[in-house]
Structure 1
């Protein structure tokens, strides 16, 4: 276990989907324009030497290294939150502050590793978070907010997360709606020249059509309430685009229909479906990812349809998510190894930083000897003698700096191995 005496200045303040809820996290996102100024003010308020700010759709977190013993009282936490967003009502700020996760030392570093490895994510096993942590660090570094101890914590978290993703099954079996829906679509073995209709041009269908195009499907026609959005999506593969109002008049037929709109009622009614198929009796595929479904129930009972909807996809996602969670015990083993590695890195860097004072002190001794203690004797030396003496002193200075530091680091490494 990490010696908390060496790392207890590492502190954490976390607002996550588990603690304050997704609806409250949006209050604490910092925009690019005020990013540096707001975080430097927070760094000053926390009396911190370093600060890391992580902001995603399901968390806002602050990891910092305090200059001295610093206790995160509820009042200090509230003041910090108001620094970010002074407009939050007092009643809400009290409630949010009471639910925030606060940690220090080993627990703070452990939490960062759990975040980077997605164990603390809304969707366990999603790989995007490791990139978000790394980019957050790079942004804070560029703003002059981080130094060595935060760097080491992030390095440990990212490297441990990579091991977890590589050596466990935590990211195996997809859990995203789009990837699972496309896998179901692939099981139908449609040829690449199949005619595909896409209803809706939102984020879900944008992602689904990316899968279609990457897998060789090009005969894709997009319908959307706003024609411009349909055209923007269809332009990715030079496809056709129409306003949704023209769907009932489409007469080119289809093999599969992918739909996801924000409509409150059915978009694919029996009448529209019959018009789209021109009374063709062959089985058609419908992938309906809308909530509520875009497909009227009567379409399923009256026509020959192979139907995949969001409720079925969510059942698959829940099953796969449970599979991923079974890997958590193995993930914990990697996390404990990561914490030990961080302990070693932390101790080594602490010694290196302390020993940075050695060269300065030796230079001070040298200057005092030359300019004060032996100043009179040096005046009596001829130029050649002075030059030789300077070379000897410079040589000894370098050796007195390099050798003790090398030896101290070696002793430290041996002690770490023994422990």
Structure 2
């Protein structure tokens, strides 16, 4: 429950890329189907007032409201309870790598996370959706309360303001989004024939991104045909085993390739066959390391070659631009922290005084039905109606005025 000093009970335990490897953080992932049982058990075992669980690809965070001191011993016991399969050695490493924020610092941290300035890639807007979904899921599982509700509402409002008023996310930095922007700037037709070589995470994201933006003609090649089929089904395309690439005879406009091969997948011979005699300039997006496209192809053919090195250079420049916006974002967060202090205290007053209406109604009922029962029985209907109207008016004013006065006193005290 929120009280004037209750913000001190708010804590965030963060396991992030700053102190831990992604593989270590991965030990703390909880399957969505198991979250309600595991987290409800932890809430009960530790007598937590509120609990929220956030998971992304490079962070796991717990926002909790508790009167207990959140120290290494608490974190150790918490991990042991929620993740009994984690070994003592790994658990100790997680404890040592954990970051703990309390009170106003926890609020500031939450605002920084949702505004993406605490992310591995500054400016990635996906985090605001992940934070919102984390709260919604925890709320659905009956884990949250008034404190986290208030903080999350303020967090989402602040993050939206950050993305609207600053350029923190304006320039793309991910390989997928940068590659798409390269295609867009070339005014490539949406019906372009696209060959996707490799069906790993990067090409899967790239294919889905292109599909989302209207591209429709896909052929997917992969060593494991089932993976090619999965991606092709998602894209409305056709799947092929990688061994059939050298036999493909339908031509292409764009090749997107990202495999783990140590050799050039696209040799001069295969590329020449894929051209099927066409001589117009083709686009090859090669985001493999080492690259899949033979350098001989670039020398011998008209190719707009987009390599991972080119994309990384653009990404680094865009990151510099984003970094210059961090100071602006921090100013918004500073302002949001101060406004949350006021909001939190006002809410504490509201909760403390929410019993006033009930008490006033009890007094009114006793006055009319017990204390002045005999006197009221002597009044005619008109007089009684006027009296009840007067009492009703006073009742409303009595319920609203103390709240307004309390807030006014609080705000004056702060100023």
Structure-2 separation of matches of 1:97 and 1:390: 70
Match of 1:262 among 249, 260, 263: 260
Is structure 2 residue 246 aligned with structure 1 residue 248? yes
Structure-1 separation of matches of 2:275 and 2:387: 94
Is structure 2 residue 410 aligned with structure 1 residue 410? no
Structure-2 separation of matches of 1:236 and 1:45: 43
Alignment of 1:369-384 (within 5 A): none
Give the structure 1 partner of residue 56 of structure 2: 56
Counting matched residue pairs gives 411
Structure-2 separation of matches of 1:93 and 1:333: 37
Displacement of 1:304 = 3.9
Alignment of 1:381-400 (within 5 A): none
- Distance of aligned partners of 1:245 and 1:58 in 2 relative to their CA distance in 1, 3 Å threshold: same
User: What SS does the corresponding residue of 1:86 show, helix, strand or coil?
Assistant: coil
Give the structure 2 partner of residue 349 of structure 1: 347
Structure 1: unaligned runs, 5 residues or longer: none
TM-score between both structures, scaled by the size of structure 2: 0.86
- Distance of aligned partners of 1:112 and 1:272 in 2 relative to their CA distance in 1, 3 Å threshold: same
Give the structure 2 partner of residue 300 of structure 1: 298
Structure-1 separation of matches of 2:145 and 2:281: 62
Give the structure 2 partner of residue 43 of structure 1: 43
Displacement of 1:354 = 1.0
Displacement of 1:264 = 3.9
Give the structure 2 partner of residue 142 of structure 1: 140
User: What SS does the corresponding residue of 1:8 show, helix, strand or coil?
Assistant: helix
User: What SS does the corresponding residue of 2:333 show, helix, strand or coil?
Assistant: helix
Structure-2 separation of matches of 1:355 and 1:4: 12
- The superposition leaves residues 114-137 of structure 1 with CA deviations (integer Å, 9 ceiling, x where unpaired) of 111111111111111111111111
- The superposition leaves residues 219-270 of structure 1 with CA deviations (integer Å, 9 ceiling, x where unpaired) of 4333233444444444556544332211111223323211123334321122
- Distance of aligned partners of 1:28 and 1:217 in 2 relative to their CA distance in 1, 3 Å threshold: closer
- The superposition leaves residues 186-206 of structure 1 with CA deviations (integer Å, 9 ceiling, x where unpaired) of 344444554332222334333
- The superposition leaves residues 95-153 of structure 1 with CA deviations (integer Å, 9 ceiling, x where unpaired) of 21022111111100000111111111111111111111111111111111112111110
- Distance of aligned partners of 1:367 and 1:190 in 2 relative to their CA distance in 1, 3 Å threshold: closer
- The superposition leaves residues 316-368 of structure 1 with CA deviations (integer Å, 9 ceiling, x where unpaired) of 11221121111111111111221122122211211111112334445666788
- Distance of aligned partners of 1:123 and 1:219 in 2 relative to their CA distance in 1, 3 Å threshold: same
Structure-2 separation of matches of 1:278 and 1:370: 96
Structure-1 separation of matches of 2:301 and 2:221: 22
- Distance of aligned partners of 1:381 and 1:214 in 2 relative to their CA distance in 1, 3 Å threshold: closer
Contact 2:4 2:349 in 1 (8 A): no
Structure 2: unaligned runs, 5 residues or longer: none
Give the structure 2 partner of residue 196 of structure 1: 194
Structure-2 separation of matches of 1:29 and 1:211: 26
Alignment of 1:18-417 (within 5 A): 18-66=18-66, 68=67, 70-192=68-190, 194-213=192-211, 217-235=215-233, 238-278=236-276, 282-362=280-360, 402-415=396-409, 417=411
Contact 1:50 1:65 in 2 (8 A): yes
- The superposition leaves residues 358-405 of structure 1 with CA deviations (integer Å, 9 ceiling, x where unpaired) of 34445666788899x96xx96x789787x9999999878866764344
- Distance of aligned partners of 1:218 and 1:120 in 2 relative to their CA distance in 1, 3 Å threshold: same
Structure-2 separation of matches of 1:241 and 1:15: 39
CA RMSD of aligned residues (A): 3.3
User: What SS does the corresponding residue of 2:33 show, helix, strand or coil?
Assistant: coil
- Distance of aligned partners of 1:95 and 1:217 in 2 relative to their CA distance in 1, 3 Å threshold: closer
TM-score between both structures, scaled by the size of structure 1: 0.86
